[in-house]
Structures are given as C-alpha cells and as structure tokens.
Amino acid sequence: MSKSNTIKLLAIETSCDETAVAVLQGSLPASFPKFKILSSVVKSQIDIHRKTGGVVPEVAARAHMQNILPVTEMALKKANLNLKAMDYIAVTSGPGLVVALVIGTEFAKGLSLATDKPLIPTNHMAGHLYSAFAQSPEKIQFPVLSIIVSGGHTMLVLMKDYKSYKVIGQTVDDAAGEAFDKVARLLKLPYPGGPEISKLAKLGKNDFNFPRPMMKEANFKFSFSGLKTAVLYHLQKHQAVNARLSKQAKADIAMSFENAVVDVLVTKAFRAVNKFGCKTVALSGGVAANQKLRESLAKASAEHEIAFTVPEMELCTDNAEMIAIAAYFRLFNKEKLIPTSKVKADPSWEIL
C-alpha cells in the first residue's frame, strides 16, 4: 500500500460475455468507505452471441482471449496510469462460465506475479452486491436488504454492515434474467431478451395476469420456471407458438410477464424488509436495469419510508467497476488474501 493512504487497483471481469477492466482509487485503512473509479472499459460480446441466440462458452472464451490485453491497456490509458502505479490486481474468479473465468483469472495471476502486487480474487455476485454502493457508500443505512437479480442468480441478501451478509433466499429454479431471456426466445425476440422485453412491455395494453409463483409463501424463495411455462401455455392456447405475432400481441405478453416478475420480487423483498427491519433496499444485477422494477421498488421503499439505492444503468449489467468496488471492500473489511499462486477460477463459488 502506498504511504499516502490511497490505493489504486486494477480489476478484471471475464465471467460471462463481457471483457471488462476498471481502475479504482480508494482510501485505506478507513473508517468509512471512500473510493472513486478512474476508468472503466467494457467490451461487450453481444453482437457475437446474437448470432447463436445465446452465449456459447468456447466462443466467449476466445473473444476474452482476444480482448483482455487491449481492454486492460485502454483502462490504464483512460486512467492515465501504468501497471506499476497499481497497488493491487483484482479479478472475478467465480461464479461464471469456467472457460471464461480462467482467461481473466490466469491473466490477472500473470500480472500479479510479474509486478509483485497482491491479487484479490473477487466473487462476481459480491460485485453486483457492492455495485449498489457505488454512490455515497458512507451514507448507507444498515440493515440493508439487497436484491440481486441477474442472468444466473436471483437472491435476497441481508447485510448487517459493510462486511456481514447472509443470503436469506434464492430461486429454486430459473433466475429472473434467465426467465426474461427464455420468454424473449418464445416471443422470437433477439438476444439478450431482458432489454427487449423491457422495451416492448412499455407498449403493452392487456394484462393476462400470469401466475405469481411462490409469492404468497412465507419464505424468501423464488421460482420463475413455472411463469415461463405459463407464457408457453398462453401461446399454445392461442395457437401462437409458430405463428407470427403482432407487435401489440407480443407487447401485451411482455407487459404481463414483466408485471408478474416485478410483483413477486417486490412482495418478497418487502416481506424481508418488514421481518428484519431494514432501513435500505439495494437493487443490483442485470435485471436491475429494468425500469418497471426500479420504479416499483423505489415507490414501495418511499411508502415504507426507507432508502432505496440502485446503480446507474451501465453498472447493472456485467462490468469491472463493480468488481473493483467489491475488491476494495475486501480490503476495507481487512479480509485476508491468499497467495497469487493459490488463486483458481471457481465456477460455482457462491456467496454465503
């Protein structure tokens, strides 16, 4: 760590289909978290994966291989710094696609060993979790109920302070983002489906009142695969599976589906808020880019007279800024780091 109490770290993210690198500057040790992002570069692979309607892991890995060095160089250039100026290297080492994770992890290990800077293996879900603290982290009121909704996960996390968190419920089958993507495929919309459904839903008029799985159950579990099946049955009933649907018909289904997902998420989240006396609701993950969900949680939080925080749109879907922030919090929380040579990509690394 440099003497000035200011550290700089380079963070790398390659867990799925974005090659991303960010540079963060932060204060350490500190009583309250204080940091700023000096640069953040994301090279998306959406155009490549659109052709196959989803991510083909080996194709993603090859693109990460091609992009990782130029993206790292660009992030350093934008921050006006070189590698030597970094105090730490951070990397997403799980969860995610193993062939994608190893590219970032082994590249970061190389940088760490070559420059003799400590490596901070960082959990991708912790990245989403802490992304909600990107603005004014020192003002966060605990306990926090964190809702993480991504393509691979849907979870409610209870945070007692900056360090202690516990997963209190998750999906038993599909993640919310996965359901958005599958319903989009049923409606023959391009990949990734979430933003497409979101856009179409704004034009919807008829609400088909799709089921709200597990919404009334007194637990914090979610299930979204039945909802996707309800959309399929709706299409079959109206002989619309292979037929060309009008834009309005698709918009009505998109809105009805989105309403059901949002209803379940908001209801379950506020069951937890009430049970644990939370003072803040924090939303994150790719599905947090959904406007209806953002607005509904903001409204419910205002009604409950508690704070609501959600990252800017670009910070919801995968990026390295959130990995830099989560890595900064590992240091802020004085977590012990393992030697670089022991760091391994772990595709099933769950946060607790």
> Which residues of the shown chain bind Zn ion in the complex (CB under 5 A)?
150, 318
Which of the stretches 132-140, 204-212, 283-291, 331-339 binds ligand KG4 when contact is defined by CB under 6 A? 283-291
For residue 257, how many other CB atoms are within 10 A of its CB?
29
Quote the CA–CA distance of 87 and 92 in Å, as a whole number.
17
Contact between 150 and ligand KG4 by CB under 6 A: the answer reads yes
Quote the CA–CA distance of 188 and 127 in Å, as a whole number.
31
Minimum distance of ligand KG4 from residue 215's CB (angstroms): 19
Minimum distance of ligand KG4 from residue 171's CB (angstroms): 12
Reduced 3-state DSSP string for 286-335: HHHHCHHHHHHHHHHHHHCCCEEECCCHHHCCCCCHHHHHHHHHHHHCCC
Closest among 307, 339, 326, 288 to 119, alpha carbons compared: 339
Minimum distance of Zn ion from residue 177's CB (angstroms): 8
- The one of ligand KG4, Zn ion, none whose footprint includes residue 95, by CB under 5 to 8 A per kind, is none
Span between the terminal Cα atoms of the chain, in Å: 29
Residues 246-265 that bind ligand KG4 (CB under 6 A): none
Q: Which amino acid is at 170?
A: Q
Minimum distance of Zn ion from residue 17's CB (angstroms): 10
Contact between 198 and ligand KG4 by CB under 6 A: the answer reads yes
Which of the stretches 31-39, 60-68, 282-290, 328-336 binds ligand KG4 when contact is defined by CB under 6 A? 282-290
For residue 162, how many other CB atoms are within 10 A of its CB?
18
Q: Is the alpha carbon torsion for 306, 312, 313, 319 positive or negative?
A: negative
Minimum distance of ligand KG4 from residue 148's CB (angstroms): 8
Among 53, 57, 195, 226, binds ligand KG4 (CB under 6 A): 195
Nearer to ligand KG4, 26 or 127 (CB): 127
Residue ranges in contact with ligand KG4 by CB under 6 A: 16, 150-152, 177, 180-181, 192-195, 198, 285-287, 289-290, 317-318
